[in-house]
Amino acid sequence: MKQGFIKKIISNQYTLIDLDTKEEILASARGKLRYLRLDEKSSFNKQETMKTKKDTKIVTLSPKVGDYVGYEADLDIYWISEIKPRKNDLVRPDVANVDQVLLVFSCIRPEFSFHLLDQFLIIMQQENLTPVLVITKIDLIDNHALVELKVALRYYESMGIDVYYVNSKQRIGFDVLTHIFKDKITVLAGQTGVGKSTLLNALMPELNLKTQEISEALGRGKHTTRHTELYGFNEGYIVDTPGFSKIEFRIFFQDDLKQYYPDFQALSNRCKFGSNCLHLSEPGCEVKKQVEEKKILSSRYENYVQFAEEIKAQKAKY
Ligand SMILES: Nc1nc2c(ncn2[C@@H]2O[C@H](COP(=O)(O)OP(=O)(O)O)[C@@H](O)[C@H]2O)c(=O)[nH]1
Ligand SMILES: [Mg+2]
């Protein structure tokens, strides 16, 4: 079987890149591709409710952009016959195997929000996605305020998250930013108005044209047509539609929250109750100690406590 990577989907027409020859291949998939038997550990499985799904279940899958697939020729037509396990699987945009998400935040208009950032980072952990922070509109705040923001964001840099500062209008900060796309599939995310479209257009001026051509080719008003495409950029791919328009994290138990805080997790061996510590009201908690010592950003901890309370309140409703 030949191996390919799905770059584009229009309706039921798939554009694959053959992994060996790098050739573009047009392929089809037979309806819903295949019935997969899932066990709890399958990468296609997701817990959607409070109940744990112990049972094996069978799902039907459609191949999507970002998928690695097996394909075969049959009477001169190429057919996708297998989807490789996904490392992650987004719905909006409909893309699999995303390597990084650019979390776009503006300094102002809208105001930078640590609350939203911490929320996004939980989702990144849950979905097995790597976040990269891009701070836009650095031209709109004074230097003092910018330095203050940079100092606070150093906490996230110490967690291993890269932070970039840009002014997309003047393309300031782009020299370093353009290098991060190599060999990766990148999706942008962020609130309305933070500058996602401006950033995309500044990175890929030709994108505007391309998306226009495609919407014309598909005809007006045919918004139901399934179309997703990865755009080649600096030896990687960018998804043109931003993701995570609606943020909700599916956490049903208070003690599940801490696993999405790698910075807190790293300290739990120094908590009195070790890995059982929720870093809330327990005595001898190293996380709380480091918050007091200002080694952990206080907003980071405050947001954690708030999320924990929200999870508890939501649980009470069941
Ligand atoms: N001054 C300044 N304005 C920006 C910057 N980035 C975006 N904008 C403006 O912010 C507004 C919202 O940008 P847009 O790209 O539509 O945001 P989106 O909703 O995230 O796609 C527009 O008026 C942009 O011109 C920037 O770096 N500096
Ligand atoms: Mg936009």
Domain of residue 189, CATH code: 3.40.50.300
Ligand nearest to the CA of 200: 1
The last residue of one of the domains, among 205, 239, 273, is: 239
Q: Is 268 in the same domain as 217?
A: no
Q: Is 190 in the same domain as 135?
A: yes
90 is a domain residue: no
Query: 114-126 vs 298-316: helix axis angle to the nearest 10?
Result: 70
88 is a domain residue: no
Would you give the end-to-end CA distance of the chain in angstroms?
48
* pLDDT band, very low/low/confident/very high, at 206 (cuts 50, 70, 90): confident
89 is a domain residue: no
Residues near ligand 1 (Cβ within 6 A): 136-137, 139-140, 166-169, 190, 192-198
The enclosing domain of 59 has a CATH number of 2.40.50.140
Q: Is 77 in the same domain as 204?
A: no
Residue 61 is predicted with a pLDDT of 79
The enclosing domain of 287 has a CATH number of 1.10.40
CA of 198 to the centre of ligand 1 (A): 5
Q: Is 146 in the same domain as 235?
A: yes
Which pair of tokens denotes residue 297?
Answer: 């950003």
283 is a domain residue: yes
The last residue of one of the domains, among 32, 57, 83, is: 83
In this prediction, residues 165-175 reach a mean pLDDT of 96
Q: Which domain holds residue 76?
A: 2-83
The last residue of one of the domains, among 48, 83, 118, is: 83
CB 9 within 8 A of CB 226: yes
- For ligand 1, atom 12, name the residue with the nearest CA: 193
Atom of ligand 1 nearest to the CA of 194: 20
In this prediction, residues 37-49 reach a mean pLDDT of 57
Q: Is 119 in the same domain as 226?
A: yes
Q: Is a pLDDT exceeding 80 seen at residue 19?
A: yes
- For ligand 1, atom 1, name the residue with the nearest CA: 137
65 is a domain residue: yes
72 is a domain residue: yes
Ligand 1 pocket test target in 113, 198, 199, 203 with most atoms within 8 Å of CB: 198
The stretches of 164-281 forming alpha helices (DSSP H) are 174-177, 196-203, 205-218, 254-257, 262-265
Q: Is 53 in the same domain as 122?
A: no
CA of 145 to the centre of ligand 1 (A): 19
186 is a domain residue: yes
Residue 76 is predicted with a pLDDT of 86
Calculate what percentage of the chain has a pLDDT beyond 70: 83
In this prediction, residues 223-228 reach a mean pLDDT of 72
CA of 109 to the centre of ligand 2 (A): 14
Q: Is 20 in the same domain as 123?
A: no
Atom of ligand 1 nearest to the CA of 167: 27
Q: How many domains does the chain have?
A: 3
Cβ-based neighbour number of residue 68 at 10 Å: 19
CA of 176 to the centre of ligand 1 (A): 20
Q: Is 204 in the same domain as 171?
A: yes
What is the sign, positive or negative, of the torsion defined by CA atoms of 209, 214, 215, 219? positive
CA of 8 to the centre of ligand 1 (A): 28
Peptide bond into 262 cis (omega under 30): no
Residue 224 is predicted with a pLDDT of 60
Ligand nearest to the CA of 201: 1
Q: Is 274 in the same domain as 178?
A: no
In this prediction, residues 109-137 reach a mean pLDDT of 96
Which pair of tokens denotes residue 40?
Answer: 């709890």
Q: Please give the C-alpha separations between residue 59 and each of 35, 37, 128, 208, in angstroms, as whole numbers.
A: 6, 7, 21, 37
CA of 248 to the centre of ligand 2 (A): 20
Ligand nearest to the CA of 192: 1
* pLDDT band, very low/low/confident/very high, at 226 (cuts 50, 70, 90): confident
Q: Is 76 in the same domain as 105?
A: no
Residue 75 is predicted with a pLDDT of 84
Angle at 6 between CA 80 and CA 66, to 5 degrees: 125
94 is a domain residue: no
CA of 194 to the centre of ligand 1 (A): 6
Lowest mean pLDDT, pick from 20-29, 76-85, 247-256: 247-256
Q: Is 171 in the same domain as 262?
A: no
- For ligand 1, atom 13, name the residue with the nearest CA: 195
Q: Is a pLDDT exceeding 80 seen at residue 184?
A: yes
Q: Is 136 in the same domain as 189?
A: yes
